[in-house]
Amino acid sequence: DGGITQSPKYLFRKEGQNVTLSCEQNLNHDAMYWYRQDPGQGLRLIYYSQIVNDFQKGDIAEGYSVSREKKESFPLTVTSAQKNPTAFYLCASSISYNQPQHFGDGTRLSIL
Amino acid sequence: GENVEQHPSTLSVQEGDSAVIKCTYSDSASNYFPWYKQELGKGPQLIIDIRSNVGEKKDQRIAVTLNKTAKHFSLHITETQPEDSAVYFCAASLNEKLTFGTGTRLTIIP
């Protein structure tokens, strides 16, 4: 089955820790995206990548970092610099920009 | 950048009736408008989309209309069913970015 896999489904972080969220796709899509979703709000773009070894900041990139070493993988690191990390994080991919984006089922991050 | 407003934030309709959700966007250069359905604890699922060279698109009980002059697009669901209950998001694409509305929680009353 083709799709996007995010892991883990739930993640807990202690104050001052960095955590990394996994996103893997087997759709052979070039573009990948990370969004943050807070209650009652729409999705906000954190980072996006069109090709391997290249990525751009979205609207709320501060306190986050990404890498794109493989076409299939686009991990997101939530650093200790992110002051309000509790949220639902969604990864998406598309064939290219301006094409339908397909989403994973998200990772819910909470602070202990 | 782009700004997308979505209304209403909540909507309840009787099973079998129609539901309409409306969005406006700010940048006339936006050219791709998808709609997503999100169920609890899941990622959004694309249900229909429209490009700026088309005024209307239909897929079974779901339709989307686009008014480029007014910078306005709408989702229409006819003959609603209990499984239509979910949160719906509109979005507008400018260059490589999608900007989302704040969502509409649709509840179908049996």
pLDDT tens digits for A64-91?
Answer: 999 999 999 999 999 988 889 999 999 9
pLDDT confidence of A1, banded at 50, 70, 90?
Answer: low
Assess A42–B contact: CB distance below 8 Å, yes or no. yes
Position B45 scores a pLDDT of 97
pLDDT digits (tens, 9 = 90+) for B26-51: 999 999 999 999 999 999 999 999 99
Position B54 scores a pLDDT of 87
CB half-sphere exposure, A4, CA atoms < 13 A: 31
Whether residue B46 and residue A104 make contact (CB cut-off 8 A), yes or no, is no
Position A81 scores a pLDDT of 87
Tell me the residues of B at the A interface, defined by beta carbons under 8 Å apart.
1, 4, 6, 9, 31-32, 34, 36, 41-46, 49, 89, 93, 95-103
Whether residue B97 and residue A31 make contact (CB cut-off 8 A), yes or no, is no
Task: Lay out the sheet containing A76-78: strands in order across.
Answer: A4-7, A19-25, A76-78, A64-66
For residue A51, pLDDT beyond 80: yes
Assess A38–B contact: CB distance below 8 Å, yes or no. no
Structure tokens at B75: 């989702």
Of B74, B68, B92, which is closest to residue A42 (Cα–Cα)?
A: B92
CB-based contacts of B76, cutoff 8 Å, min separation 6? B18, B19, B20, B62, B63, B64, B65
Q: Over the range A7-44, which residues count as b (16 or more CB within 10 Å of their CB) and which as e?
A: eeeebebeeeeebebbbbbeeebbbbbbbbbeeeebbb
Assess A61–B contact: CB distance below 8 Å, yes or no. no
Residue type present at position A65 = S
Q: Among B7, B46, B97, B105, which would you mutate to test the A interface (most chain A Cβ atoms within 10 Å of its Cβ)?
A: B97
Tens digit of each residue's pLDDT, chain B (110 residues): 899 999 999 999 999 999 999 999 999 999 999 999 999 999 999 999 999 988 999 999 999 999 999 999 999 999 999 999 999 999 999 878 999 999 999 999 99
Contacts of A102 in chain B (CB under 8 A): 46
